């Protein structure tokens, strides 16, 4: 397992496991009671972004319509600059994502939702599921498990997507992720 020195004074050795900083641009288009991002904010698992102009410049922005597929090759960028989900209504997603949020946008390969609203639907993920899927693909499974544990249905996401996530994470580049995606969906 990889470690880096963090200037953090907690812990005995000053070493922390590698993690990606998680951001969410919250558009407040959904029922606040069902908003997974709000819960991640409450537990300090993600940082809210109030305006798109505040998304860090080289941060990976998850966009279901992006031309480029997320792959393990994006790991260093995610750890250095973070990952951002755009929390919007799926009914408005096609118009929301016409706008470019970053020069570093990535789409996730197809995964099944475990959230109660879209259970077992392909690709209709909540923000926490999108971030967790991205984290697993880039090799940060422990961080993904941590954010999913905030939700009683969170472990079901891992169960529903066990094999595809394993194969996406084992890929070396976006082409191999795309090949794995075709095997499942």
- What is the pLDDT at residue 11? 38
Its pTM stands at 0.86
What is the SS3 string spanning the chain? CCEEECCCCCCCCCEEECCCCEEEEECCCCCHHHCHHHHHHHCCCCEEECCHHHCCCCCEEECCCCCCECCHHHHHHHHHHCEEEEECCCCCHHHHCCCCCCCCEEECCCCECCCCCCCCCECCCCHHHHHHHHHHHCCCHHHHHHHHCCCCCHHHHHHHCHHHHHHHHHCCCHHHHHHHHHHHC
Taking residues 148-170, what's their average pLDDT? 97
Q: 124-135 pLDDT, tens per residue?
A: 999 999 999 999
Each residue of 53-87: pLDDT tens digit?
899 999 999 999 899 999 999 999 999 999 999 98
pLDDT over 90 percentage in the chain: 66
Q: Has residue 103 got a pLDDT over 80?
A: no
């Amino acid at each position: 397992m990889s470690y880096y020195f963090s200037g953090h004074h907690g812990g005995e050795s000053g070493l922390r496991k590698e993690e990606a900083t998680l951001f969410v641009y919250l558009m407040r288009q959904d029922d606040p009671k069902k908003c997974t991002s709000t819960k991640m904010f409450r537990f300090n698992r993600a940082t809210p972004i109030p305006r798109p102009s505040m998304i860090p410049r080289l941060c990976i922005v998850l966009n279901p319509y992006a031309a480029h597929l997320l792959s393990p090759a994006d790991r260093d960028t995610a750890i250095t600059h973070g990952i951002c989900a755009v929390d919007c209504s799926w009914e408005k997603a096609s118009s929301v994502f016409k706008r470019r949020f970053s020069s570093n946008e990535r789409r996730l390969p197809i995964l099944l939702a475990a959230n109660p609203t879209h259970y077992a639907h392909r690709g209709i993920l909540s923000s926490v599921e999108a971030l967790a899927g991205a984290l697993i693909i880039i090799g940060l499974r422990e961080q993904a498990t941590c954010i999913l544990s905030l939700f009683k249905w969170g472990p079901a996401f891992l169960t529903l997507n066990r094999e595809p996530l394993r194969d996406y994470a084992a890929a070396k580049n976006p082409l191999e992720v795309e090949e794995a995606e075709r095997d499942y969906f």
